[in-house]
Chains A and B, each alone.
Chain A
Amino acid sequence: MKTLFFLLEKEFKQLMRNKGVIRTLFIMPAVQLILMPMAADYSVKNIHIAVVDNDHSTYSQKLINKIKSSGYFTLTGYAPSYKEALVLVEQDKADLTLHIPAGFERTLVRENTEKIYVAINAISGTKASLGGAYLTSIMQDFNNQIRLQWLHGTPDNTPQVTVAPYYWYNPFMDYHLYMVPGILVTLITALAAMQSAFNIVAEKESGTIEQINVTPIKKHIFIIGKLLPFLVLATLVFTMGLILARVIYGIVPLGSLVTLYLSLIMYLFAMLGLGLLISTYSNTQMQAMSLAFFFINIFNMLSGVFTSIDSMPLWAQYIVETFPPSHFIKIMRMVVLKGSGLGDITYHLAAMFVIGLVFNTWAVLNYSKRS
């Protein structure tokens, strides 16, 4: 235990002295947490639409106005023909084209039906599918209005089924409420796995690890001495993240902080284990960086921050199950948004513990003082 004290004393002195580390550990996550949720927004606005109006009638004007006033579309311009509208799509000036054929109003009145054409640029998938959906719903609405007019009735006497959704736990579909806890986890992920690995590998590079290896210091004491400082740092960064989330986004966790911090410690147990494992396989910080990047990239992409795990193929879901961040992100959202307690997250806690146990055991077995 006395040895551990000297190790920790040394680690903290070195960390405090290293201005670069403090910058990377605190300022960078803060900047990311402030910028990312504001910039990376899921709700699609500003869909550029090019309109070909070959009818120039009251109805076509009404339809165009309705689209313009929906708030989702920006009219990039009118094109005289479908061909020219497509050029706008090719030049990336428009995401959608809407073609109202000549005689739209006439046919509609006479024959009770008319077709309009929509072409969607599907390069940006989300924009295309959401844009198409928005346009369809606007069109449906437009349809209903016309029908009502012709029926000369009031909305009350037309039987209709409407869906009135209520979004539980996030009633206003506030995007930040959903993203901020997830992004905070990705920041902790990078810190825990990468910095701890770098720190140990730096000792290999400078040769000081040799000097440690000729001392009678116990392997586990050395490892604890290396990982504990990062547990403390990550907890501080996490706390800073919670404070920023509250101040900037007004996010106050509904669940208990004790539950959050307990989960954080379990999560760090797993991720620091990964960092240690990476360090045992790397001789230079470059190698450690490549390995750490590999894991962190996959973790951040697939653990449910940006894409929903439930919509992945089943085999991918099984793989993601072994990623510690996928569990911690779920816990964060459950505790912060729903106010879940320990009882609700037991499965995820246990999963992180098992993964952590595997990483750490593997790392300790692979770490040897003698080659």
Chain B
Amino acid sequence: MRPVIKTDKLTKRFGAFVAANELTFEVEKGEIFGFLGANGAGKTTAMRMLCGLLMPSSGKATIAGFDVYTQTDQIKRRIGYMSQKFSLYDDLTVTENIRFYGGIYGMEIKEIKAKTLELLAELQLEKEAKTLVRDLPLGWKQKLAFSVSLVHSPDIVFLDEPTGGVDPVTRRQFWDLIYHAADKGVTVFVTTHYMDEAEYCNRVSIMVDGVIAALDSPAKLKKKYGYDNIEDVFYELARKAKRSE
């Protein structure tokens, strides 16, 4: 199978500082790929390069077969993105947000309407359809933001710490949504600080000081480093970090 994300020595420098150093990895279609690392390890930088928000300094990368340097428009049509910062419009209602994002991805109004009903049902937000997003609880907002990032049926969705500040029950529900999306063939690229979430991933990579220190399935990583949970593997690797925030 052809990988959906393929990078080869992808690097980003800010002056003398190398935020992401020669990242090389592949992600398969429908895979849930966990992207772990301490604060400042370079996760967000890497993700922003893959989404076309940041110009790489060197190296190669393709997303859904398109080049990150030259084919950003094609890439953008095929990816969804949910940033660390909550990014729906507070002063628009749930429906209006879905309509707006669907609209700027070039969907037809009919299509948007059908999709809206589908998403509202999936999120059980039918009653809140006309509520302003600012009046929703944080957990609901995050779930809505995730669904909105999928509104145009992308091949890949990038999630940057999607569950930050969310309660455990909602986090669990959030991961149900992720699984649901992956079942439908969407590739999920997710960064997180919750190690229990890392266990839900098909494969995880652990970034330390801008480089990928380990990459494998959670089970194999645990076996390799001789721990019975990912948290300990993470500590073992992250402890070696020299740079801090």
Contacts and interface: CB of A to CB of B under 8 A. Distances in A.
Contact of A3 (B53, B79, B103): B103
B168 to A, nearest CB: 25
B87 A2 contact: no
A216 interface: yes
B101 A17 contact: no
Interface string A210-245: 111111110000000000000000000000000000
B92 A13 contact: yes
A214 B89 contact: no
B53 A14 contact: no
Contacts of A18: 91
Contacts of B105: 215-216
B86 A207 contact: yes
A10 B79 CA distance: 22
Given A215-B105, A371-B55, A206 B100 contact: no
A10 B96 contact: yes
B83 A210 contact: yes
Interface stretch (B32-40, B69-77, B206-214): B69-77
A150 interface: no
B110 to A, nearest CB: 13
A5 interface: yes
Given A2-B103, A371-B55, A10 B87 contact: no
Interface residues of B, number: 29
Contact of A10 (B52, B76, B80, B89): B89
Contacts of B52: 214, 369-370
Given A215-B104, A217-B104, A371-B54, A207 B85 contact: yes
A157 interface: no
Contacts of B100: 6, 9-10
B51 interface: yes
B103 A207 contact: no
A200 to B, nearest CB: 14
Given A6-B103, A13-B96, A206 B85 contact: yes
Name the prevailing secondary structure of the A interface residues: helix
A221 to B, nearest CB: 9
A17 B135 CA distance: 14
Interface string B81-107: 101011111111000100111011110
Contacts of B96: 10, 13
B53 A6 contact: no
Contacts of A214: 51-53, 76, 79-81
Nearest to A14: B91
A208 interface: yes
A113 B161 CA distance: 94
A208 B91 CA distance: 12
Choose among A5, A7, A13, A18 the residue with the greatest number of B CB atoms under 10 Å from its CB: A13
A17 B91 contact: yes
Contacts of A371: 53-55
Interface string A190-210: 000000000000000011101
Interface string B50-65: 0111110000000000
B81 to A, nearest CB: 4
Contact of A213 (B53, B89, B101, B103): B53
Contacts of A369: 52-53
Nearest to A214: B81
Nearest to A205: B85
Nearest to A211: B87
A284 to B, nearest CB: 14
15 contacts: A2-B103, A3-B103, A3-B104, A6-B103, A7-B103, A14-B92, A207-B87, A208-B87, A211-B81, A212-B104, A214-B52, A215-B105, A216-B76, A370-B55, A370-B72
Interface of A: 2-3, 5-7, 9-10, 13-14, 17-18, 206-208, 210-217, 369-371
The 8 closest A-B CB pairs, nearest first, are: A6-B103, A207-B85, A211-B87, A214-B81, A216-B76, A10-B100, A210-B83, A216-B77
Given A14-B89, A213-B53, A369-B52, 7 more contacts: A6-B100, A206-B87, A210-B85, A215-B105, A217-B104, A371-B53, A371-B55
